Amino acid sequence: MHLKRPAAGRSRPLRSLLAVDFDLSDEQAAIQRLARDFAQGEVRPVAEELDREKRFPYELVKQMGELGLMGIPYPESYGGGGADTLSYALVVEELARVDSSVGITLAAHTSLGTWPIYAFGDESQKAEWMPGLCAGETLGAFGLTEPEAGSDAANVRTRARLEDGEWVIDGAKQFITNSGTDISGFVAITARTGEGEISNIIVPNGTPGYAVGQAYRKMGWNASDTRPLSFDGARVPEENLLGPRGMGFKQFMQTLDGGRISVSAMGVGLAQGALDEALAYARERQAFGKSISKFQAIQAKLADISTEIAAARLLTYKAAKEKDEGRNFSLTAAQAKLKTGRLAVRAAEEAVQIHGGYGYIEEYPVCRFYRDAKILTIGEGTDEVQQMVIARALGA
């Protein structure tokens, strides 16, 4: 298509509007292929069993570490993959297309466990943690949510006071991903360190007074690790402060912005996986003398979901691109999160519907997809929080 030359004086904004590059670079496409081959070849065959047995995927994490996927957006100097955020989103999407538990294990590790160390840590903290995190030998966890601080994340009750060169921590966290596996290394928590002051502190697993509770019995994401944490006079060195004192809330809000991109990729991937399954089933299933994919009622569902996926994917990739370009991506990440979470729920529901009674049976992946989808409208900020973020950005 030949585009008209923009009028003088308007060339910059117009050019930037037109400069949407829909093609992946060779490197991005190669990473997508690698992730797809791994997801389809290694994850897919064990996904149902991991879910049924609520078993953490240690072997897959090890393999993802060896493939370089556990630290994909971090510099090679720290043992990372040196790739961009879009490449990372592509990896999460391919995993969630097959198994959300494996997808969130990698996504929470990368965006929430590793990012605070990389973005806010000093060189000695990075030297201590980054190589193991990027190799997938150590998992990091992010401790923001508390019984009284969910959507209202600033309402932190966990306290840390300085005593003899150590932080003494008392409080509780909940719904913390990757906190209690055999390879969990630490949790980076928000804590009140003074009047009106919230800071981030690294608490290594095994610290006396820091207890990791029993894994929750969840609706979905059964093979992922999610636990409550408690701190009862837990002591860590003063140097475990992450970034400047008093900056904890802003640091964690920034961390969540990035996390919303990966959770959006989870939604796109889950929706695509639901569509894959629904299409395959509809082609095969015969009713009234023909394949049900030939009925308009089924075709309309498939067409609508595929169109919604195409739109949601673009929004997600746009948020990733904005982050890579160093632009403010909070708004786009919130929009992508809102859009993709709802889409995942709808796509999974339609996929179950197309499967009829079989969709209600656990042997069919769409049954698991349906249970796995709902958290995408809740975790990493509820839909209502995304609406708040979006409305504020609009100036409403």
Taking the complex as a whole, the smallest distance from the CB of residue 250 to ligand COS amounts, in Å, to 4
For residue 380, indicate whether it is catalytic: yes
Token readout for 150 is 């969910």
Binding mask 28-67 for ligand COS (x = CB under 6 A): ----------------------------------------
Q: Is there a contact between 289 and 388 (Cβ–Cβ < 8 Å)?
A: no
Q: Does 389 bind ligand COS (CB under 6 A)?
A: yes
Least distance (Å) from ligand COS to the CB of residue 251?
Answer: 8
For position 330 contacting ligand COS by CB under 6 A, the verdict is yes
How do 159-163 and 166-177 pair as beta strands?
Answer: antiparallel
142 three-state secondary structure: strand
Q: To the nearest 10°, the Cα dihedral for 155, 173, 319, 244?
A: 70
92 sits near ligand COS (criterion: CB under 6 A): no
Q: How many residues bind ligand COS (CB under 6 A)?
A: 21
**Residue 104 lies near ligand COS (rule: CB under 6 A):** no
Using CB atoms within 10 A of its CB, is residue 163 exposed (0-12), middle (13-18) or buried (19+)? Answer: exposed
Among 14, 211, 253, 279, binds ligand COS (CB under 6 A): 253
The one among 277, 349, 372, 380 contacting ligand COS by CB under 6 A: 380
Buried b (16+ CB within 10 A) or exposed e, 276-300: ebbbebbeebeeeeeebbeeeebee
Which of the ranges 215-223, 300-308, 350-358, 382-390 carries the binding residues for ligand COS, by CB under 6 A? 382-390
Question: Taking CB under 6 A as the rule, does residue 336 contact ligand COS?
Answer: no
**Cα 263–Cα 265–Cα 266 angle in degrees, nearest 5:** 60
Query: Binding residue for ligand COS (CB under 6 A) from 32, 105, 138, 145?
Result: 145
* Dihedral sign for Cα atoms in the order 277, 280, 286, 289: positive
* Closest residue to ligand COS: CB criterion: 381
| CB of 299 closer than 8 Å to CB of 240 | no
For ligand COS, the closer of residues 154 and 303 by Cβ is 154
Maximum Cα–Cα distance across the chain: 79
Q: Does 151 bind ligand COS (CB under 6 A)?
A: yes
381 part of the interface to ligand COS, by CB under 6 A: yes
Of 108, 83, 51, 141, residue with least CA distance to 363: 51
Query: Does 257 contact ligand COS by CB under 6 A?
Result: yes
Question: Cβ distance 149 to 248 under 8 Å?
Answer: no
379 is a site residue for ligand COS (CB under 6 A)? yes
Compare residues 365 and 379 and give the one whose CB is closer to ligand COS. Answer: 379
Count of Cβ atoms closer than 10 Å to residue 26 Cβ: 8
Phi, psi of 180 (to 5 degrees): -125, 25
Residue numbers annotated as active site: 380
Interface with ligand COS (CB under 6 A) = 112, 142, 144-145, 151-154, 249-250, 253-254, 256-257, 330, 379-381, 385, 388-389
